[in-house]
Structure formats: C-alpha cells, structure tokens
Structure 1
Amino acid sequence: MGNWIFQGNPKQFDVDTYIEKNEIVDWNIRQKQFLDEVQVGDKVFIWRSDGGNKNTGGVIAFCEIVSEPYKDDENDKVDLRILEKRLAPETGMLLRHELKELPEITNLMIFRMPQNTNYRLTDEEFDRLYQLWESPEKLAEKLNMSIVEKYLHSFKDHAENWFENNSDYLQESYQFFSYFKQKDHLYTMEWEDVQELGEHINAFRMALAKKRALGNPNASIEHYRNSFNYLIHGTDPLKRRVDQFVHHEDYKLFGFGYSVVSELIGNIFPEEFCFYNQRDRVAAENILELTPGYARGDTFGEKFIKFQGCLKENGIVEKYLEVVGKQTTLPIFYEIDQFFSYLFENFGKKETVIAEEETIPQYWLLAAGEGNFMWEDFKENEHIAIGWDELGDIKAYGSKREIMEALKELYEVDYNPSNDALANYQFANEISIGDYVLIKRGTHKLIGYGKIVSEYKFDLARESFKSLRKVEWISLGEWDVETLHSKTLTNITPYDEYLERLLASIGKEGKTVYPTSEDNSSSVKESEMETIPYTHEQLLSEVFMTQDKVEDILETLDYKKNIILQGPPGVGKTFVAQRLAYLHMGTKDDSKVEMLQFHQSYSYEDFIRGYKPNKQGHFTLKDGIFYSFCKKAIEDPDNNYYMIIDEINRGNLSKIFGELMMLIEADKRGNRFAVKLAYSEGEETFYIPKNLYLIGTMNTADRSLALVDYALRRRFSFINLEPAFHTGQFHDYLINKGISQGFIDKLIAGITDINQAITNDTINLGKGYEIGHSYFCPTTAQVDDEQKWYERIIRLEIAPLLKEYWFDQEDKVDELLDRL
C-alpha cells in the first residue's frame, strides 16, 4: 500500500468548503508517473497551500483512496473518503511553516517542489506525519526545543538502527587504535602496521588516496615511527602537534592531510576529542548553528581546539546523553561523531526549490553486474548500485577525467576506460530523484523498472556494492526486447522512439515531453511544446543579485532593448544574461534565445548576410545568424526573442553590424525603418523587429581589446556586475553545497584581501580586474572535500590569473597566494 500527500491551492478552488461539505471528494493526479502506483486503500493527507496568505497552509484532512484512477473531463482523478478533517489551527490542523521547522519533516518533497499536486510518502515519512496528526500537541512541544534538541530527537528515532549498521566498523577501529597508540607498538611498528590505517580512516575511503598514501612507503619507517610518536605522545600542546604533523619536515607524511589527522586524533583520544572533518564541521556549524569563534590566521590546530571547546560550551555531550542516551560501550565522542554523520547525510544539503515543469524525468538503462550477479541484492534492498567499489566515494572525484585516471591506476591498464568512468560519473552526479531506471539482463531482456527516490550514497558499512541509490520498484519480471545498449549505464532519454518501444514492451507508457534531436523533432511542433515558467524567485535563487538590481536591469532592457553586462572574470556574465532573458519573457524557452560569441575573425557575412561557397564550389547567398533570428522573431510577433552575444567587444563591431548600426536603436525598430542590405536581392529590405532584444557580455579585464566603438556604446546600456562574495545568496549557495561555515568565512576573507590588492593597483589593474565568485561555485551536487576543492581552484585558476596580472612581480604574487 502507498501513502500520499495531495495538495490543493485556495487560489484555484475553495479547498476548505470542498472538504467541509463532502464525505467523498475527487482529486486530480497531475504527476502522471503515479497513475500506476495509487491504489484503493492508500492513505492520503490533504495539504492546503498558502494560496497567497502566508503561513496559512498545511495538513487539513486525512483520507483513504476509494477508487482506481479514472478520466473525468480529460483529467486523471481518484476518489477519496475523508476520514478526519481539521480546517483551522485551533482544531488541530498541522501548519506548513511549523512542520518545516522539524528536522524529521523538513525533507518532505512538498517543501522542495511545492508546485506539485501529488507526492508519495515513504513509510517512515508517513509514520512521522501521522504521529503529529494523531497528537498535534507533540508539534507544539518540539517547536519549543532548541535547535540542538530538535536534531537530537530526530536522531533518537534512528540511533538504534544507525549504530547497529555501523557498530562492527566502529568497534574494530576502537580496538585497532587502542593498540596502535601504545608507545611500545609505535617504536617497533613496521610498514604493514602503517598500511592498516587505511582500513580505519574514512579519509582513505577513496582508493586512489589510500594507494598514494599507503601503497608504498614515502619515507623511512623510522620517520613514520617518529611522526606518530610525536603526534600521540609529544609534549607540545596538541594544537601545535597537529600543525607540525601536517606541515613540519620532521613529521609530515605524504597523503596525511587535515582530514586524516582529525580522524587520527578522534580515534586515539575518543574520550576527549570529536573528529574534525568536513562532515563534523558542516553538522556543527551549518546545521546546529554552533559558533566555534574562529579568527583570521588560525591554524588548523587552533581551529581544531576551538571546535572542541565549542562542543563543550554548548553541552553537546550532556544533551546527547539526556535525549538519545548511550547507545554503545564505545567512548562518547565516537557516538557524537556518528550523530554528526547522521546530520550531514540527512540535512547537510538544503534542497533548492524546483519548478514542477523542471522535473522532467530522465530514463536510464543499467546492467546489474556481469552475469546479473547484483540483481538479487537490487530487488531485496530496493536500490541500484554500480561496481568499482575500489574507487571509493565517487563524489570525491571532481570530474570524469579524474575517475578515468583513478581506474587506470587502480587496474593498471594502459588504455583510457572512458565508458567505465562515464558510468560512474553519471551514476553519482547525473541521475536525479524522480528519474526512472530499466534493469537489463544481457542484450535482449529487461527484468526491472523502477523510480529513483534518493541521492547517491557511498555506504561504507556494506561489504560490496557500496555506491547506491534507493529505488521504488514499479515492475519486476522478464521481458524480451530489441537489442539493448551494451554499456553498464546509458541515458536513453534522448532516443524517444527507442525509449517508447522499451517502455511499451513492459506495459508502460512513455512520459517524455520534449523532442531532443533533429531526427524526431517533427513529432512535436515547436508551438505545442510546453514552456517552463521562470520567476523572480527562481532567478534570485540562481544569481547573486538583489531584487532592486534585477528590476533595474529589466527596466533598462525594456526601454533600451540593448544592454551589455560588463564585469571582471568570474562574475557569471553569460549565466546571468541567459537567466535575464528567461525572466524577461517569463518562461524558460531556449527556442527564443540565441547565443553566440564574437571573435576577431567574425564578419558581417557571418552575422548578417553574405556569399558563401557550397558543396559544388559555387558561391551562394547565405543568411547569417542574426538575419535568420530576426526573421524568426518577425514571424512570431506575440513573443520576445533574445540574442546573447558573449565577448561582444572581441569583434570588430562596426564591421560586423554594418548598416544595422542604426537599426539596433530602440526607436529605429520595425518595418518603417527597413533598409536595403549590402547583399540584397532586388528590392528586398530588412528591419529589426521590436520584439528582439540584444544582451551582450564584456570582460573588463581583457586588456588585449580595443574600447567598444563609441557609436555602438550609445546604443547599449552598460550594466556592471560585481563579485558577490558578501551576498547572502552566495553564502547560502556554498552552505547548500556542503561547505562548512568556518571554511566559507575563510574563503571570503581570503579572496576579499586579494580583490582589495587588485583594486588598489590603480596603475595596472583596478576594480575591473577583481576575481569573481563563479570560480568558487561548484557544479557538483555536494563538495565532499572542501580543502581539496579549494586548493585545486587556487592552484589551477586563481594562481595563473594573478601571475598574469603581476607577471613582473613574482614576490607579490607569492605573498598574495600565501594569504589563500
């Protein structure tokens, strides 16, 4: 049986009156993927949205499905029997804004995708919501708790299972380090003893990191013995020992960085110190909102000690024992670290609100291992997995190339395993909640069809198949089909006809919306394609700008019709240009947006019109990209069209625009101002329509370029985009990517210093050369190693830029990089 939330919007119909006056009600099933899943007897919560009245929405009724889905006026519906209704807070209604404050409720899909009508609940989600429905007073009690207490109560419900799944690993680690830290052992240990650390340090879960640090000795065994003795039994204060162990030539070990030393200390002194890796920092600083009081210039050792002091000041151990209670015989900070891991995995990433129309599912074809040996595990545990456990957590790799290099090194092959690298990368980074997966056996059979219901997870507690995603199986069986792709994992969404045939063979209808290639685009007319609404709220969640700034740009675009976004490297000019076009037209419709990039060789013939050679070697008149796009806009006067010209100042603008220099002005648009072009046939004329807008971008730090033609300058409005490091949106973006609060503060402070130095150099540089925030906007769903991510950006992107800026001042560049 299934459990559901069905939502109604008071703006569209009187939800309260409908519920109040009827015992049986019908409800639309707008999320078509659920038509095969809703059943008679399923339980449903009716959720009334705010409908424009803030803080009025929430759960108002509890129902049971009493009919199979049916068609009514072209809508798919089911009938519900109302078992209980509470239409106001005083009668026990569960208010949306109050539910959202509870950790155990906040991850409901209705909070992440509030525009939908139908939401499936897991059994656990249903039980939590039903308990609050049955006893609304519990909600009031929980709302009065502190943040720490709320999350401890959330963990309490899972603690027994959590430790049951992790106890073996924790016990083994405790026993290992109890022996490892003894002086007698450290003085006599051999290389094999050092290598065994790899089985008990999570920072070595990535096989490549483990191999590089522990595959072969990187120093003499005496050096390893001396280093560990100093860290564990040295007489210096611990914060100094930690810093010396990582940095000093007498003690540092290749591959033993901050995360490793944090885990070493946490395992060696578990009665005194908690781990201090990224998971712990995100849990404490971002989720529990604790403030360790870091200061500029703090070393890692100093931050480590401040973090421990913060836990003590806030009574984390005492509150844990009071709410959760001791769960194991292990030292207390083992349990605190596991509590933090629970917080990181369940609340470490705040989901971005997604519009309903953006949740178009992808379809994936997956093999269940060679010879199908993983299939029984898939079925029994309701998940899918991918092999190559030796890689470790796939999220730890920054790109497909890194995965490929790791596979080459791990399996000692001399070719590029690009397909295997792609399969791993897509499994971790491109599959999304709401996608569908088809499981294949060989090349002619399908054996399972399911829906992805979780993010990627690397589960250390499992013996094998550790890279996982949870799945709701929709159909299990055995179906003969046409020849299937042979790769381990394939995204088959782009192949419409092929996908439809596979789904039909298992008795399912396809749900693809958009044509995806020239071969099949004729099956859906462009005018019939659904468009995706795009709002101010969505733009503000994607670009780091204020509402006033956005309104100012839109107003300028309205009256000027031509704008140029200018700014230093990395402020997201092209990204912002595209989003502004979406917002100005009100929909996310790429068919009405054309993007191109100017360069020194770009010509009038490329842009407007000219004679080009054909396959026969003759010259024929060809329309350029701007000419064709204007014609498209002319034929559709009811809609706006947008041409985005990236690096607009890189081209010879007078040459490229030619006689159209005059026509791009806002008051020279339309047929009344039509002119003959340099390449015209007969009496043919051309004009720029009023519904076409030009958005250019320009890098203010590009000193190889001449100034933009003054005649063109007066036809455009120039809008400055600046680095957004100090905006709330940038901060929230990094929080959502799993970067810890303390690290964000460090990043912003460091780059602010650099940008100040750039701004102060008014002779060679200035404000137009600052470093933009886009350098520090990770595209992956989650950053698993913030230090490694940050250092890669500094080394590969920021350092080369600074060396170019001050190419004759090497000492200055080195000093600035030291600050970072």
Structure 2
Amino acid sequence: MTNGVDVRTAAAEFDRSAVADAASAAEDERKQVLSQFPLEDWAELPLERYALGQAAPPGAGPTYCRLMEFGTPHLGSIKGGSAAKHIMYHHVSGEWRLAAPLRGMDPQDAWAELRGQFVRAFDALGSEDFEALDDLEVLRYGPTLVTKSLATYFPQHFLPIYAGEHLRRFNTLLGGSTQGDVPAWGSNRRLLELVRSRAEFEGWTRHEVMHFLYAHFDPRSKQRTVWKIAPGERGRLWEECRAEGVIRVGWDQLGDLGLYQSDTDLKQALDRNWPRRSGGSLTLARRLMAFRDLEDGDRIVANRGTDEVLAIGTVNGSYRFEADRPEFQHVVSVDWDLSHARKLSEPKQWRSTFAKVDPALFARLIAPQGASGVDVIRAPQTTPVALPEDVQAVLDALERKGQVILHGPPGTGKTRLALGVALALDGRAEALGADARHRGLTQAEMLHGDRVSMVTFHPSYGYEDFVEGFKPDLSATGPGLTLALADGLFHSLCSRAAAHPDQTFLLVIDEINRGDLPRIFGELITLLELDKRNLPV
C-alpha cells in the first residue's frame, strides 16, 4: 500500500467519525498548554518552568517539557527515546545536559539563548515567515519538541506528526520527495501541502489525517512486545493497581526515568545504586526504558508468581514519576480486564518483574475461558503428531549436532523443509499437513514470535548485521550522523535464549552459500560445533 490508488482506497474506507473523541481530547490538551504557557509569556518564561528535572513552583503544574512529552498524548506523541530532544534538561546526576551549541554556557545563559530562539520561531510563524525557522540553529537539536510546539501554537500550519523518520515515510507515500537536511518542521509543512493537494483528503481535519496515516501506514513495527509486569513481590500491590487503573514498579532511587538519555545512561545509575547486579543491569535498564516508553494500546499481563495471571491490561496513558509516594514511584496508566485472570497449568519463567510474553502464549491468554472459568491454557498435545520422515531426520540431526546444512539444486524444497522443522520445534506440527494458506499463516505467526528467527544471507551482509555493530541512531537529535552500538539478529536471539534456558530457539538461514561466512560469523566460527572445539566461551 504505497501508491496513490491504495491511499485513495484506504481513505475512502476510513471511518473519520471514529477520530472525534481523540480530536476533542487533543483540543483540550492544546488549551491546557495555551493556558499554562501563553504565547505572550514565553519572552520571560523562567528555566524552572521549562526544563525536565526541575521542581515546578507550588501549584504551577508540570514543566513545559514534561507536559509536552508526557501530558499531551492526543496532540501527537513525542514520548520515549532520549531526553536530549528537549535541548537542555536537568539530569538526575545534578548536571545540566545541553545541546552542542549551548555546551560550556551557564544554564541561565543557555536558557536565555534557547528561549530567545523559541520566541523568534513563534514570531516568524505569526507573520508566516516559514523560511526563518531554518536559521534557528539551536532549535535543530530538538526537532520533535520544536515541531510539536509549533503545531500546538499554530495548528493551522502543521500536522500533529513530529518524528522525522515518520514524516519522510509519509511524504514518500503521498508522492513527495525527501531531503535528509530538512528539519522535522519543514518535512511537516511539505506533508501538509501534499495532503491539501489530494482530493481524497478534502474537508479532513489534521487529526483525521494523522490517525488515518498511522492506522494504515504506520512506520513503526506492527509487532508490539507484550510485557508481563509483576505489581510488587507476590502481587502485593495488585489491589491498589487494580483500583487506581495503573501498573507500578520500584527502583525508586533512580528518580524520574524520563530524564535518562539512553539505556547505557540508566545502566550506570543502576550500577551506582545496586553494584551487585553487574551483568544484569543492562537488561534491566532496557526493560525499565521499555516500561517508560509504553504507548497507548500496548498490552500488559499482570502476574502473581510464576503460575497466576491477575489481569490483562491495555495502556491508556503516559509514564509518570510520583515522587511523593513512599515506594513504587514509577507508574503507567492501564485499563485492566479481569476476565482473563486464571491459574496456569504450567509455571512460566516469570521470576523477575519484567518478562516478554510469547505471542502464541498471549493469544491463548486472551482466548475465551472454558465453562469452568478456570485455566484453559492446555499443555501441548499429548497425542504426538506423526512427523514427515524428512522433518524427523533433520530434528534428529539437530539433536546430535546442534546445526544442519540443507543442500541441493534450486527448487527442491530446502527452505520449505527448514520451516517445517521450525514448525515442529515450535509446537506447531499440526500445520505441516495443512493447506498452503493455513501453513503460511502459521509460519508467519511463528516468525513474529521470539523463538524462531529467519534471515537471508547475501553478499553485502556482514558481522554488524548478524552479531553487533555501530549503526545510525535514528533517535539522535541534531545535525550530523550519530552511531550507536546495536545488537544484530543472532545476538538478539541469543539474549532471548539466555533468558529462557528451558526453551528451544532456532535460527533459519536461507541462501547461506551467498554470504561471506568468515565476515558474517567472525569469531563465532569457533562456536559452530556443539563442543565449541573444546575451547572456553
């Protein structure tokens, strides 16, 4: 669905009336911003009313940055990622973190410069001098916050879409061109012009356009992670969480998670407060960041111990830090569905606060319960499914050697056999004898889960794709290219396997002969044999 015909078809079928409530909520949020931060007050706005990490004066409400990131979700989300999007903020360490053009300046001087550029931007929009915005260098270091600010004060000139990557994707979708050096507000203006030029959007509001684009052409992954989150030890906070419509977690000494720039930043804080965690602190940091970045519509399973589901929830609000509570100060709003509460027939690997829920398990959890109202999650079929001879032969080889290479002329079914083995290992052997459509759907569901991954090697595939390497950081702000160390496919699969030692994980490599194996595997060549060539790992 990337050409004009498909956009027109989708637009004709889109229910614009379904957006009415969200658009009304967005307008209420916009009025809240205008009331607390009137445009005419910006010239004298104090730093403590702007920056994250500042204690607002009594009765003043949240700071501007907190309100824009966490308190106005219907205006368009800028939640998650680095706190550097705010250009300057007060870090939990007590330091001021400033964008590159402001570094070395006193915080008040830096704020005077940043505030002045905001005022110049607002003045330019008031006279519709859009080109003047591009000359404001400091604002380029916070494109999502700045674009949301401009759209809030001047909604007639912008759409409620702020991420640069999303804007580029939508511009291309509607037949426009993209340039990498154009700031987000420029891409937003171009997208608005494209929307206004298309007949299918005639009479649409900007929120209808935004909801339509994300509903049908969402640049984000369609496969959202479902998290299991324990409401306190043995669920001791469950009644409170249920009554308040929230999920709470501890680690209060970390302070506001919104002030951390990255998982590495958060890991350092974890190591300072809990030095004995060492090896597991990065994993915990990533999970706490995932908790902070939960979005409306994300699903959560609340558990007690390893064998009880208390409820299944749908996130309906942003993360917040409640510093006035004595404990469990990290909070996300959730709409709980108690109808899925049950005892599990088999304990799960749920000994930590956070755990990812396998999509197949989640599908069973939300399935209607049986007449008894007790556990309807069954153990795998006790009646064994008769496996095809070739599938069984590969399974036997995997048991002996841990790996199998399938070879033969093109078109002889190597990939089909490999995926058949994966289905059997994943407990989906019944799909082997199904029709092509059912088998294809089952394979797709399997590959969207956590236990089976598939990759196709090609001549340009490398170690950084397979194991780890430095890649462009799309969440980074400011001009220039920022690189970040990212896990490759195999590294990610190994991390999931390490977290679930009782489960089998499988990697299917298609077209392995087309890849440069020494370059892709690197030192992992040593580990391909089951005995690791008797070398320590």
TM-score by length of 1: 0.34
Question: Which has more radius of gyration?
Answer: 1
Larger relative CO (CA 8 A, sep 6+): 1 or 2?
A: 2
